[in-house]
Chain A
């Protein structure tokens, strides 16, 4: 049996390891198109902040780890998948056959349709190579404009601020991290950033980027409605999308990503997808599909896909949106259906002075979503309560009165006999 995994990120590496464990004799080939050993994009901001060396971003620290598992590694780029012939086309020429294939190519950064983004001084923040460039140009006192205050934008903000740059953030949405935070928490994060000396423009669109021949700074940005901004470095963090361009003529069903069933299998039998690439069941949504480009989902779906590839039939209940973000030291978390559902109940507490916020969403007496801000203790139990569909009983009322008592609710509803 020949297993091929395309993509050497968390989903791909976890899958390769799992396949090897399940099928000690099968051929396992892991294909990656970046020169470095498998690394974790989640760790890049900490590299940018000089908190870790480049090696600190590596997924596995033993350089011989995959070799010792007998996983063959190819530094290659796959240009095409021929589903019928069970064959991959490689950029360097040549082809590679497979019996089972996992698509784990992750995401590509979204490049907004704005003129002038292809010029020196404008960088995405996605790959280690991007990070090295940003490190080079983000010198103390330099003017940096960050395009996009989404998850990635916020997470690299600290790294930029710590490098002592003069930072301006431009976000199209009406608040920060609009896909993960509601109005109140998004605004609170914005205020926090402003307090930390960052200039923040929300509801603002970059309309053009030009080389600046005359002024001190290298680049001029036109913004609506702010006007002109000058920058030595522009970092584009406008979101990501599944990296599926090479699959266009493969016959594999694509929506945003590769559409998979509960076994992580695509529309083509024997071809699976995991991580950012896949569009799987959106947990808790009555069977709708969604892309959840987050680390825990990558590892989980990589493992589940691998099990199914090896014949160990393992359904996956779907992935839940969940995120944790540290914006200049302010920790925010969101889970599941934090926007609530019709007929459900909501409770929230806001303390603007202390930058604390918590919001819980219920459907009946079950927790279905949550947002927290300024809280680092026991947040994981929110996931447990949501995904286990625990009936909270009387604890729902306790939570409606004081939503911070999540641990008590969890212990009360699951560990103690009701009395």
Chain B
């Protein structure tokens, strides 16, 4: 069974160890600005929400790519950016309704979560199990998947 990142915002303390682990895995240094996972802070509510790509089935980024630079990793289900093919046109960044594929001004390519080949560094670095990597069935990705389908079907209903 494929596994997914499962995020429990209630357990997040806002330490950003995930962002450091992610940037270290992908960039070789500690640089939250280049992290594929981001923690958003809701100061007046005292909440912290880690957020990254759900590897959604719709794969808006993948279908929008004009150079077939985004492909499916069959083993993990991750949508992968091939830097050799990405021309940096950024069309995927406006197509993804989650805002989870972003342009990296340093490399001139886009970047997104690739599940670290099936062993996500963010989950390993999280000290409170706010981010875990578990069987895809029944994870809290439901909420985000619902969002994905809303972008599709609700708009259809309105049309």
Size bracket, chain A contacts: 35 or more
The reply to whether the CB of A59 lies closer than 8 angstroms to some CB of chain B is: yes
CA distance A21 to B94 in the complex (A): 27
CA distance A58 to B96 in the complex (A): 22
Instruction: Please list 10 pairs of residues, one from A and one from B, whose beta carbons are closer than 8 Å in the complex, sorted by A's number.
Output: A40-B66, A61-B68, A300-B63, A331-B90, A376-B102, A378-B99, A380-B99, A384-B99, A384-B151, A408-B42
CA distance A110 to B49 in the complex (A): 48
Of residues 84 to 134 in B, which have CB atoms within 8 Å of A's CB atoms? 85, 87-103, 105, 108
Contacts of B101 in A (CB 8 A): 380
A315 touches B156 (CB 8 A): yes
Stretch of A188-196, A206-214, A316-324 contacting B (4+ beta carbons < 8 Å): A316-324
The SS class assigned to the B binding surface is mixed
B48 to chain A, nearest CB (A): 11
Contacts of A412 in B (CB 8 A): 42
Contacts of B67 in A (CB 8 A): 40, 42-43, 56-59
A414 touches B159 (CB 8 A): no
The size of the chain B interface, using a CB distance under 8 A, is 45
Contacts of A384 in B (CB 8 A): 97-99, 147, 151
A42 touches B91 (CB 8 A): yes
Q: Which residue of A lies closest to B7 (CB)?
A: A415
CA distance A295 to B99 in the complex (A): 18
State which of B45, B63, B94, B102 has its C-beta within 8 Å of the C-beta of A323: B94
State which of B63, B87, B105 has its C-beta within 8 Å of the C-beta of A51: B87
CA distance A295 to B63 in the complex (A): 9
CA distance A212 to B101 in the complex (A): 49
B67 to chain A, nearest CB (A): 5
A415 touches B9 (CB 8 A): yes
CA distance A406 to B96 in the complex (A): 14
Contacts of B38 in A (CB 8 A): 378, 407
A156 to chain B, nearest CB (A): 12
Q: Which residue of B lies closest to A412 (CB)?
A: B42
Contacts of A58 in B (CB 8 A): 67-68
B87 touches A299 (CB 8 A): no
State which of A51, A387, A406 has its C-beta within 8 Å of the C-beta of B155: A387
State which of B103, B147, B155 has its C-beta within 8 Å of the C-beta of A414: B147
CA distance A215 to B97 in the complex (A): 53
CA distance A56 to B88 in the complex (A): 12
CA distance A377 to B154 in the complex (A): 26
Contacts of B105 in A (CB 8 A): 376
CA distance A318 to B151 in the complex (A): 12
New contact pairs (9) apart from A56-B85, A300-B63, A324-B90, CB-CB < 8 Å: A14-B63, A295-B89, A316-B156, A376-B105, A378-B38, A378-B100, A381-B98, A389-B155, A415-B9
B120 to chain A, nearest CB (A): 20
The reply to whether the CB of A231 lies closer than 8 angstroms to some CB of chain B is: no
B87 touches A388 (CB 8 A): no
**Ranked 9 nearest A-B pairs via Cβ:** A384-B97, A381-B99, A378-B99, A40-B66, A317-B159, A317-B155, A380-B96, A46-B87, A42-B66
Of residues 40 to 54 in B, which have CB atoms within 8 Å of A's CB atoms? 40, 42, 45, 47, 49, 51
Contacts of A296 in B (CB 8 A): 60, 63-64, 91, 94-95
The reply to whether the CB of B144 lies closer than 8 angstroms to some CB of chain A is: yes
Of residues 55 to 79 in A, which have CB atoms within 8 Å of B's CB atoms? 56-61
CA distance A10 to B95 in the complex (A): 15
A379 touches B66 (CB 8 A): no
